[in-house]
Amino acid sequence: AAQPTTPFAETMVETDPARIHRLFEGQQPKALALRGSSAAERIAKLKRLRELMFEKREAIHAACHADFAKPAAEVEVTEILPVVAEAHHAMRKLKSWMKPKRKRPTLLMFGTSAEVRTEPRGVCLIISPWNYPINLSLGPLVSAIAAGNTVILKPSEMTPHCAAFLQEFLAELFDEDEVAVVQGAVQTSQTLLELPFDHIFFTGSPAVGRIVMGAAAKHLTSVTLELGGKSPVIVDRSAKIKTAATTLIWGKFANNGQTCIAPDYVYVHEAIRDEFIAACREALDALYGPREKLAENDDYCRIVNTKHYERVRGLLDDAIERGAKLPVGTVPANDDRFLAPTLLTQVNEDARIMEEEIFGPLLPILSYTDIEQPIASINARPKPLALYVYATDNDVIETVLSRTSAGGSCVNQAMMHFLHGQLPFGGVNNSGIGNSHGHYGYMAFSHERSVLRDRFSLAFLFRPPYNAFTRWFIRF
């Protein structure tokens, strides 16, 4: 496989602040003009975007491969398909989403009619991460366009080929006063964050999410924060072990573990622990073939850059120093971004690997005897973006779902909730604020405006001069 050539963040050319200010100013009148845009006009834009995605398929593959040797099938399923599906869903539903929703009068509001309209937020900023560079830039963009906004998009500097692709791709579809791409790293991001955007949609780490929210607070800009964290898995003794192992191994090692909703660590019931580990080993063989040939396998992605490789390697070394065992360990390779799928057992709960989001191909497997143990341990950590439970016993499933909190969950599956267009996708507290996808994405980029029309209301009763009737009415 060709070697990825991602430069470090520091080498990314930052965008001139004057250009950023010009773009921001230029989008103001356009945002006002788009307020009254019709569903048909927005649908036409989404249709062109969807069509161009198909036309530019090869370029998307090339960019993802150049950035982190992303396998072609994974590009299809995790970069192209979700965006196309998002656009398709929005095109089909937009008319009904845009339609004002009538509200029946409450008793007090007798004699009025009311509705909730959605209006575009205005000039929006989307900041995206590197791990699904196309999907997590264009997915939110689809929602923003559906909702009638203008957008400045700042893709991640860690995947520069994808960032360059996005700039070219969107320039073919939109004038810069409607959608503009600004490339750069932290400095560019900070210049953008100083501006009074109408909404910021950020996808990235909780640490940077705090910076974004702090900056947004200065202008009282609304935010959607799609963050990360450690997504746990519980495998109950009633689980179908092979299904659990196969889906978890795919969920963990797709994109080399660099997925916000990747299973981060597993709690497996002690009674099935050994069988589960054996099933994981088999699933790895079935999915990726012989381990000694893994470095040549085009279906296995790379860590995005050597800095991240060293971070993940550091987590592994720390866990080993603290007594972890590797039932499936690393294999040597002549590639400084390659790390084989690694399973860890006997992991000390105080090891760094149990504190930080792993975001790499390492899977700690811990065991339990009483379901209260993993529940207590999950509840002691920040609320995760995803939590997966494998069981056939419905009581166990219900206990886990009702006694924990997470952005989203799958039962007997991993990560697939991301692709369900009718489900909100988002985190809770440390893993995020607000939602994306489908109608929820449209709402993230819309303001819900209440409109009350008076016909023959009793509002005159609330005005002076107050009299006995007013007092009677209030008591009533």
Residues that bind ligand NAD (CB under 6 A): 127-131, 136, 154, 156-157, 185-186, 189-190, 203-205, 208, 211, 226-228, 260, 357, 359, 385, 427, 432
Residue 185 beta carbon to ligand NAD: minimum distance, rounded to whole angstroms: 5
Sign of CA dihedral 299, 303, 306, 310: negative
The tokens describing 277, both together, are 């580990």
d(CA 367, CA 230): 17
Closest-by-Cβ residue to ligand NAD is 228
Nearest CA-CA partner of 227 in 455, 45, 467, 429: 429
Residue 359 beta carbon to ligand NAD: minimum distance, rounded to whole angstroms: 6
d(CA 6, CA 67): 5
Q: Which residues contact 293 (CB under 8 A, 6 or more apart)?
A: none
Which of 226, 280, 301, 410 is an active site residue?
Answer: 226
The tokens describing 20, both together, are 């950023």
Q: Using the minimum distance from each CB to ligand NAD, give the nearer residue, 226 or 236.
A: 226
Q: Using the minimum distance from each CB to ligand NAD, give the nearer residue, 374 or 426.
A: 426
Q: Does residue 64 have an active-site annotation?
A: no
Q: Using the minimum distance from each CB to ligand NAD, give the nearer residue, 178 or 226.
A: 226
Q: Using the minimum distance from each CB to ligand NAD, give the nearer residue, 131 or 345.
A: 131
Q: Using the minimum distance from each CB to ligand NAD, give the nearer residue, 82 or 432.
A: 432
Residue 157 beta carbon to ligand NAD: minimum distance, rounded to whole angstroms: 5
Nearest CA-CA partner of 266 in 369, 360, 364: 364
Residue 64 beta carbon to ligand NAD: minimum distance, rounded to whole angstroms: 15
d(CA 344, CA 316): 9
Q: Does residue 76 have an active-site annotation?
A: no
CB 52 within 8 A of CB 172: yes
Q: Which residues contact 54 (CB under 8 A, 6 or more apart)?
A: 84
Q: Using the minimum distance from each CB to ligand NAD, give the nearer residue, 309 or 368.
A: 309
CB 165 within 8 A of CB 59: yes
In this structure, which amino acid lies at residue 325?
K
Which of 260, 280, 301, 410 is an active site residue?
Answer: 260
Alpha-carbon distance values, 195 to 20, 198, 212, 309, 463 (Å)? 9, 9, 12, 34, 42
For residue 263, the cross-strand partners are 231
Residue 352 beta carbon to ligand NAD: minimum distance, rounded to whole angstroms: 15
The residues carrying an active-site annotation are 226, 260
